[in-house]
Structure 1
């Protein structure tokens, strides 16, 4: 039979199903799967709320906000993914909410490293003998010949600005995308040259790379200094959330738009790709939430000025990576 004469299920070319349609069509396996994933998302949020209570009671004031923001990345993304799983037509909005939150987390993680090192003034006071190595990812990892940069108040401001711009611009472009969507000018799956998505998304991608660069620079500089507070696994969790929520989702969605992921009524190929992405994220963010809780649950001692003055050679918080 000629392939052009094959009948195509109408749902394979229709918008994502309504929430009530999902509930009505769930079989036994679907009920179990959706129940388990919803339980994971709810548990992640409960764990995060409990962690916020601990942070409020046990963490110094200068670190409360940044630690709460960084800890919230996985549970917020997991919760938004759960909403997108139950309400497929809201996936674009839930994904945008997650992306906006993580854009703020990128900046907050940079501030967290500075606060753990004693704050801006303490960081600058110990900085004259050290320089920043800027030949690191994601921008300049292939350029080891780049000169090292002196640590000054201006260079610190530029590092902060590099990450802060993403937190602001991501929210601005998200609002713009929603406005254009309501006017029929923005569609995520529209990759045509006359579509808004093909112009907005690459620009946001460039802003993302620029924002991740200062965080990587600061991490490479302070990774030895902050080794005692497990900064390396904390940074690994932060990077893992980034890869899973951005790169993994993008790959699955591209495969769905290309038709590699087949249609499964009532889901079209694209909607099914989004569904798979949401379900994977719920499981992954649940695991990351538990690991993150273990990493940040510790006793926070204030930085001792006396130890800094009298024993700089053995104080872990005074050691930085010296540029060669």
Structure 2
């Protein structure tokens, strides 16, 4: 019976052109697109105002990292808005968002170090301590791993672990666009002969490797930087990661499997991308407002007597209880 069922020809076509969307929008569609476009615009305006504030109020290298990290939500929301209006540009907008967030992963690691005063200050204040590397997403199930001394070499390796993702993501994106123009790359083509089946897992591995150093540094500094609201900042960073990567991937997989129905002029895949983009615009708008409250503040240096190792604090507290 399923074989005899007819399918609208548009369900097998490429995503519609922007003009086709404009011509077929009803009242509800006009309101939805207008509200989402307004949200994306407000997100970018809030980000621009915040950049102006940080540029004039924050000193040193910290301002660069803050501006990059704050841009994650508004940039992803803006790219999603462009992809919503121009469905045939979805691959470009998604790859632009992914490249930007790859840089944000590295910049968030730099931000935590700069909150302590930079590399030299971090090494001076934390050099006597050790890093616990048994954290997610790589080694959270390996508590037996030894702690690592904090040296220039270990700090360099942590930075390199995150920087490689920022660099290689851009390289893989350029390669994917080149292959797409030649018809060799299609995000929905999961056959063994397609380029996507080889590129996407590689990018996934690089992502996990890049997230690991950030998690290591956060676990080490979360107590020291608690007064700077590093925990909610890290939560917003993780939330952007989950929503822009995991949520989008789940929706797109459902679309490729046909779970999300075709709705002319959108095919199942195109409609899945549309739903993902509309959700991201709303979610990134909310995250932009939250991150503005977290980052738009006065940045005073930390007291010099702060301990930068949470493990040391825990051990000291335990020894005090034993003595008592």
SS, match of residue 47 in structure 2: helix
Tell me what 2:29 maps to.
30
The alpha carbon displacement at 1:298 in A equals: 1.1
Aligned to 2:318: none
- Structure 2 residue runs of 5 or longer lacking an equivalent are 316-324
Checking the alignment, whether the CA contact within 8 Å between 1:129 and 1:322 is kept in structure 2 is: no
**Corresponding position of 1:242:** 241
Counterpart contact for 1:181–1:187, Cα < 8 Å = yes
Q: Does 1:61 align with 2:60?
A: yes
Distance in 2 between residues matched to 1:259 and 1:216, nearest whole Å: 36
Q: Which residue of 2 aligns with 1:276?
A: 275
Kindly indicate whether residue 319 of structure 2 is the aligned counterpart of residue 320 of structure 1. no
Paired residues of 2:109 and 2:214 also in contact (CA < 8 A): yes
How far 1:320 sits from its partner (Å)?
2.2
- 2:44 is matched with 45
Is 1:182 aligned with 2:197? no
- In 1, distance between residues paired with 2:308 and 2:120? 15
Residue in structure 1 matched with residue 256 of structure 2 by the alignment = 257
CA distance in 2, matches of 1:230, 1:132: 21
Contact 1:60 1:302 in 2 (8 A): no
TM-score when normalising by structure 1? 0.95
- How far apart are the structure 2 equivalents of 1:302 and 1:74? 27
Contact 1:187 1:197 in 2 (8 A): yes
Q: Secondary structure at the match of 1:4?
A: coil
> Residue 207 in 1 paired to residue 206 in 2?
yes
* Aligned residue-pair number: 313
- Tell me, yes or no, if structure 1 residue 229 matches structure 2 residue 218: no
Listed one character per residue, the Cα deviations across residues 217-247 of structure 1 (whole Å, up to 9, x for unaligned) are 0000000010000000000000000000000
CA distances 1:78-101 after superposition (whole Å, capped 9, x unpaired): 000000000000000000000000
Distance 1:5 1:148 in 2: 63
CA distance in 2, matches of 1:174, 1:129: 41
| C-alpha separation in 2, matches of 1:112 and 1:56 | 15
Q: CA deviation at 1:297?
A: 1.2
Q: 8 Å contact 2:133–2:147 — kept in the other structure?
A: yes
CA distance in 1, matches of 2:33, 2:215: 37
Instruction: State the secondary structure of the residue aligned to 2:311.
Output: coil
Q: Look up the SS of the partner of 2:126 in the other structure.
A: coil
> Counterparts of 2:52 and 2:15 in 1: how far apart (Å)?
38
Q: How far off its partner does 1:270 sit?
A: 0.5
1:184 is displaced (CA, Å) by 0.6
For residues 64 and 286 of structure 1, what CA distance do their matches in structure 2 show? 22
Q: Whole-Å Cα distance in 2 between the matches of residues 74 and 288 of structure 1?
A: 6
Q: Residues 110-153 of structure 1, C-alpha deviation per residue, up to 9 Å, x if partnerless?
A: 00000001111011011233100000000000000100000000
Distance 2:128 2:159 in 1: 21
Tell me, in whole angstroms, the C-alpha distance in 2 between the residues paired with 1:232 and 1:103: 20
1:109 match? 108
Write the mapping of 1:61-210 to structure 2, written as runs, cut at 5 A.
61-210=60-209
Other-structure match for 2:321:
none
Structure 1 CA distance for aligned equivalents of residues 199 and 118 of structure 2: 35
Q: State the alpha-carbon separation in 1 of the partners of residues 122 and 60 from structure 2.
A: 18
The separation in 1 between residues aligned to 2:111 and 2:88, in whole angstroms, is 36
